[in-house]
Amino acid sequence: MKTVEVLSKKKEVRLHLFLWVILAYINYVHLDFKAPYFISFTDFSLFNNTSVIVFISTFYFHYLCVMPRVIRNFNGKTAFLGWIASYLIFTGIRAFVEQLLTVWIWDMQNYYEGTPAWFYMIDNFFYSLFSIGIATITYIVIYLIRSLQLNQIIQQEKNEAELRFLNSQINPHFVFNTLNNIYYLVYQKSEQALPAIDKMSQLMRYMTYETSENNIELQKEINYIKDFIDLEKMRIAGDVYLKLDIQINNPNLLIPPLLLLPFIENGFKHGVLTDATHPFTIQITQIDNTLELYTQNKCNSYNKDETSGVGLSNIQKRLALQFANKHSLIIKEEENIFTCKLTIKL
């Protein structure tokens, strides 16, 4: 699974820089088809520049001080008081910069002397909306991005925990079936009992050291399947009719361990392997990033137990978690013939 990352502070700063570039362009640059390069710079006047200072100051007051409190304890009262605070900050900074500081340095002020206080407050109400609004929208967008990413991480951790649980069920399920097979060989005093135990030890070594990895090479999974088939054939009396066709272009292609085995194990456990007219067919094909498994076997209606659904049920859940929207699985049973076709985009 691809790891989800939360929007970092560094990326947040980059988004802010991008925002300021756009706002600076809107404020200082405009298209002019008569000008060189079709753009011209406008209005570098004193009070246009001071308005930028007031805008940025109010923006970050609202972004850093007001919005975190509003989001943390959202209600109408908190949002209204936060807006009032930012409005007063905007008005106060603007009055200090444009009515006091500019008079002291340049002997210029933005509003005429004698401007009524009520007019000044109402006029700044409308000017403050842009700064406060942009800060609110920016904060909400970044907050939503982080919230979505955190939800994805929580879901990913949940999926990984479920996947570990499903994998932990597959191993005991396989061991249980294999021990039953070896028990049968020992009970029959078969010469195949000792080779079967040796083969099982090899498989257990694979399961111990390889299946702990998230992915393994496709060739290792295929070798494991071949060993499993050899072990299963030992317990069957008489001739075993099985067709194994493997065509892979890239044996080093990575896949989750024990991805294909449950389908093959299901065929041995619930299929008829001694019918020459209906051999157990296994086809594994890999072209580029597409992996396909096809199995077909005649059903053995007498070989059912309470745990018969564990293997396929688990693999279906694993596929949904690991290859959501990247796989198709067709399972059907017609006229006592069980067919399975799995296609995965790796």
Q: What is the DSSP string of 5-53?
A: -PPPHHHHHHHHHHHHHHHHHHHHEEE-TTSGGGEEE----HHHHHHHH
Give CA–CA dist 142/71, Å, rounded: 12
Give CA–CA dist 271/178, Å, rounded: 16
Q: Are 285 and 247 in contact (CB under 8 A)?
A: yes
Reported confidence tier of residue 100, pLDDT bands at 50, 70, 90: confident
**Which of 44-53, 141-150, 180-189, 333-342 shows the highest mean pLDDT?**
333-342
* φ and ψ at residue 327, rounded to 5 degrees: -150, 160
Q: Helix %, strand %, coil % for the chain, to 5?
A: 60, 15, 25
Give residue-wise pLDDT tens across range 139-171: 999 999 888 887 777 676 666 655 555 555 555
Reported confidence tier of residue 73, pLDDT bands at 50, 70, 90: confident
Q: Which two tokens stand for residue 249?
A: 């272009």
Which three-class secondary structure state does DSSP give residue 183?
A: helix
Residue 68 has pLDDT above 70, yes or no: yes
Angle at 123 between CA 122 and CA 125, to 5 degrees: 65
Give CA–CA dist 120/251, Å, rounded: 76
Reported confidence tier of residue 252, pLDDT bands at 50, 70, 90: very high
Q: Are 299 and 337 in contact (CB under 8 A)?
A: yes
Tell me which of 23-32, 64-73, 268-277 is least confident.
Answer: 23-32
pLDDT of residue 292: 96
Contacts of 144 (CB under 8 A, 6+ apart): none
- Burial status of residue 28 (CB atoms within 10 A of its CB: 0-12, 13-18, 19 or more): middle
